[in-house]
Amino acid sequence: MRHARQVLGAALLLIATSALTGCSSIVSGGRDTVSFTSNPTGARIRVVDRAGKEVQSGTTPCKLDLNRGQGYFTPAQYKVLASAPGVPEREVPLRAGLNGWYFGNIVFGGLVGMIVVDPLTGAMWDLPETSNIEMGSPTMSLSTPAPPAGYHDYVGASAATWK
């Protein structure tokens, strides 16, 4: 009889614990690690949130931890600004999508996990594992020298001007 009560108590504790957590929160957590690469490597990157605040920075290749969500039922949305010498700055969007584990709440997390825990922690969202930024080729500065003194451009002029 005593053993049956212990088993029943453990089962109830397990059910209560799972009811107060979300499936995505258990499996994924509220943050995600994104690997950033660039071509060419060595680009300085800054990750900026919706409010324009820089939340992370690094030099490629690098891994950065980012929040999956940015508010209740709001996926994270970032701008990745990449710069390298001789190359124009690049801006690449980085957006979270729905985490497949969110639907595990139907079995494990229940209604509380589905409408409270996972949306509040951001665990219902998933960021891409990698982000590759194509920087392009370095720009070359080609300047045209000034024409020599006494030079006249006759392109498009009539034959009478050539005398």
The tens digit of pLDDT for each residue in 105-145 reads 777 667 787 788 878 888 888 999 999 999 987 665 555 55
Q: Which residues of 67-105 are buried (b: 16+ CB within 10 A; e: fewer)?
A: bbbbeeeebbebebbbebeebeebebebebeebebbebb
Q: What is the dihedral of CA 145, 150, 156, 157, to 10 degrees?
A: 170
Mind listing the pLDDT tens digit for each residue in 11-30? 444 444 444 445 455 555 66
pLDDT for 162 beyond 60: no
In this prediction, residue 61 has a pLDDT band, given cuts at 50, 70 and 90, of: very high
List domains and CATH numbers for the chain.
Answer: 18-133 (2.60.40)
Q: Please count the other Cβ atoms lying within 10 Å of the Cβ belonging to residue 60.
A: 21
Q: Which of 11-15, 85-89, 113-117, 147-151 has the lowest mean pLDDT?
A: 11-15
Q: Given this model, what pLDDT does residue 31 score?
A: 87
